[in-house]
Amino acid sequence: MTHPLTAWFDHGPDGGGECAALVLRPGNAGSNTAADHVEIIRRALDQAGLGPRPGRKVLVRIDGAGGTKETIELLARRRVSYSVGFTLPDHTPQIHGHHPRGRLGPGLQR
């Protein structure tokens, strides 16, 4: 059994998609393994042939499992546009007010 990790090129509404990179990992591989996400993004960007810093014309979209600090740092270094999304529980607004200010992460204190 494997837990594959893939990266895809999207050529817009007039084009199709194509697999840019694929890593077949063991079935027990973690879903948010930063090293694996960094590797698959590097492979995909290298496959695109746009050089080490392709710029904002490239958009990398990641679901919540790939949103690790190491992965985001790679995207910033490569100077690509990126979007990292994840789903929050429905009760997030209610629980937010119950946490002491000093105990929230830096991103939540802004």
The total of structural domains in the chain comes to: 1
Up-side HSE of residue 106: CA atoms within 13 Å toward CB?
0
Residues 93, 25: Cα–Cα separation, whole Å: 37
- Which value, in Å, is the radius of gyration of the alpha carbons in the chain? 17
Does residue 107 have a pLDDT over 80? no
Does residue 109 have a pLDDT over 50? no
Domain that holds residue 11: 5-108
Q: Each residue of 57-87: pLDDT tens digit?
A: 889 998 877 888 899 999 999 999 999 887 7
Q: Each residue of 16-35: pLDDT tens digit?
A: 889 999 999 888 888 778 99
**Residue 52 has what pLDDT?**
81
Q: Each residue of 32-48: pLDDT tens digit?
A: 789 999 999 999 999 99
